[in-house]
């Protein structure tokens, strides 16, 4: 039985203030999620804070909950982290405590706004940009001594100087040279970048029929061949489902994060649905795809020149990435099992006058792992520094990563292999 939090505990009082703030009262489900996490944590019930448990206890999902296809917990956690960051940078800027929830975890952390450990995390090159796991610190009385305050102020001044020299932005996305160069190449001035959302209606059709659709069929809007393989429903009903305009919440999360990249200026990008574009669109613009070829058939346009290519067998429920040219120690295929796989590919567009970025996976979780690599500067930045050219530009590349599910929670991603294209 869950023990109620001590009503005098400053950590619980903080959680209640945050949940009662205007931003959270407009999002009652996020307020419930925050209090749910804090209540269990403060009652020493951290083992209850898993994706499966949250889905069942808070969102009413049953025992058949599949975290690979249902992202309700992860999507709400993403929004909760964003709301917390906004609260403590605006309305709650004067709070002496902070609440953070590291990415991939569901246990809240309480720490002082002015502790040396927070400063050390900001300085450490190994700290993850998307949520270093901070040590929980609660100074006696909720305050720090004048001596420690002086030390923090001095170290903080050094941080400001260092960050100013290397061009980092405090409180926002880390600004590092190679990563910024990648964004400049994807969002060049006086050019348009297309965000192409996956067609989840098409994925529904594939799941019903066990047959994938070719790009030529997709472009001609002729899905009758695939629909004719439906055995659980009438082909007409299958076609009706496929015609509906669905996309995944993961796509929306990715595009939301891309729109906040400093180089993505207002008016420099456009969001399009996969079935609404043509090959000429791809030739005339920079383009970013979310989803693999079975959800975004335009990816097929790039696969001839790729090393890591999605290879699935819907009849046998096998999903994998083929490694066309394995290097020593690499498998010929990355087949899903305990792990899900994601590929991030930065390539030339079909006309060669622009760039394309493909964010795909063996599942929703796989696509999410590829996006985590893209937005985690401590993963992306060292990789880009390793491969960047002498003139500072970023060459075209492919990276394959994996993620596992442990007790219903996504584990940190692993970088498995990569290729650099000398085009």
- For residue range 153-174, what is the model confidence (pLDDT) as tens digits? 444 434 333 434 444 343 344 3
Burial class (CB in 10 A: 0-12, 13-18, 19+), 8: exposed
Q: What is the mean pLDDT of residues 237-266?
A: 79
Local confidence band at 193 (pLDDT 50, 70, 90 cut-offs): very high
Percent of the chain with pLDDT over 90: 31
Lowest mean pLDDT among 132-146, 178-192, 341-355: 132-146
Check residue 104 and give its pLDDT.
79
Lowest mean pLDDT among 139-143, 332-336, 381-385, 398-402: 139-143
Greater confidence (285 vs 5) lies with 285
**Backbone φ, ψ for residue 20 (5° rounding):** -90, 0
Cα–Cα dist 117/218, whole Å: 54
Q: 82-91 pLDDT, tens per residue?
A: 889 888 888 8
Q: 295-349 pLDDT, tens per residue?
A: 888 999 999 999 999 988 766 778 899 999 999 999 999 999 888 999 999 999 9
Structure tokens of 332?
Answer: 């010929």
Structure tokens of 179?
Answer: 């990563």
Check residue 346 and give its pLDDT.
97
Check residue 142 and give its pLDDT.
41
Burial class (CB in 10 A: 0-12, 13-18, 19+), 167: exposed
Structure tokens of 263?
Answer: 């180089």
Residue ranges of domains in the chain, CATH in brackets? 10-166 (no CATH), 177-199+247-421 (3.30.379.10)
Q: What is the mean pLDDT of residues 240-246?
A: 72
Greater confidence (121 vs 251) lies with 251
Q: 25-80 pLDDT, tens per residue?
A: 888 889 999 999 999 999 989 888 998 889 888 888 877 787 777 888 888 898 89
Cα–Cα dist 143/408, whole Å: 37
Average pLDDT for the chain: 78
Instruction: Note the Cα 73 to chain centre separation in Å.
Output: 13
- Measured CA to CA in angstroms, residue 217 lies from 213, 221, 290, 291 at distances of 6, 6, 20, 18
Tell me, yes or no, if the pTM score tops 0.85.
no
**Backbone φ, ψ for residue 372 (5° rounding):** -60, -40
Q: 406-419 pLDDT, tens per residue?
A: 543 446 789 999 99
């Amino acid at each position: 039985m869950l023990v109620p939090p001590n009503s005098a505990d400053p950590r619980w009082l903080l959680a209640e203030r945050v949940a009662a703030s205007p931003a959270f009262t407009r999002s009652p489900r996020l307020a419930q999620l925050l209090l749910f996490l804090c209540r269990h944590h403060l009652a020493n019930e951290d083992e209850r804070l898993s994706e499966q448990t949250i889905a069942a206890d808070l969102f009413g999902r049953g025992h058949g909950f599949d975290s690979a296809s249902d992202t309700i917990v992860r999507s709400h956690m993403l929004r909760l982290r964003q709301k917390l960051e906004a609260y403590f940078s605006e309305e709650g800027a004067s709070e002496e405590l902070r609440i953070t929830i590291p990415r991939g975890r569901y246990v809240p952390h309480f720490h002082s706004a002015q502790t040396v450990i927070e400063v050390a995390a900001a300085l450490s090159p190994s700290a993850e940009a998307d949520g270093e796991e901070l040590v929980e610190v609660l100074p006696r009385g909720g305050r720090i001594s004048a001596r420690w305050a002086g030390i923090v102020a001095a170290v903080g001044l050094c941080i400001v100087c260092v960050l100013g020299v290397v061009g980092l932005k405090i409180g926002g996305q880390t600004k590092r040279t190679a990563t910024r160069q990648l964004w400049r190449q994807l969002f060049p001035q006086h050019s348009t970048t297309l965000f192409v959302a996956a067609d989840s209606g098409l994925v529904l059709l594939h799941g019903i029929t066990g047959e994938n659709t070719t790009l030529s069929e997709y472009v001609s809007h002729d899905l009758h061949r695939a629909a004719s393989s439906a055995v659980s429903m009438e082909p007409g009903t299958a076609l009706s489902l496929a015609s509906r305009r669905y996309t995944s919440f993961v796509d929306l999360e990715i595009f939301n994060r891309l729109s906040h990249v400093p180089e993505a200026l207002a008016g420099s990008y456009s969001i399009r649905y996969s079935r609404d574009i043509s090959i000429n669109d791809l030739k005339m613009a920079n383009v970013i795809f979310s989803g693999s070829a079975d959800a975004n058939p335009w990816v097929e346009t790039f696969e001839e020149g790729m090393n890591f290519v999605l290879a699935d067998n819907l009849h046998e429920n096998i999903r994998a990435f083929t490694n066309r040219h394995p290097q020593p120690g690499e498998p010929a295929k990355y087949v899903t099992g305990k792990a899900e796989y994601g590929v991030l590919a930065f390539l030339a567009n079909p006309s060669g006058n622009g760039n394309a970025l493909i964010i795909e996976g063996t599942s929703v979780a796989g696509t999410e792992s590829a996006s985590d690599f893209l937005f985690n500067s401590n993963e992306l930045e060292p990789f880009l520094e390793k491969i960047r050219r002498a003139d500072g530009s970023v060459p075209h590349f492919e990276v394959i990563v994996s993620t596992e599910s442990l007790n219903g929670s996504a584990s940190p991603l692993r970088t498995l292999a990569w290729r650099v294209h000398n085009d």
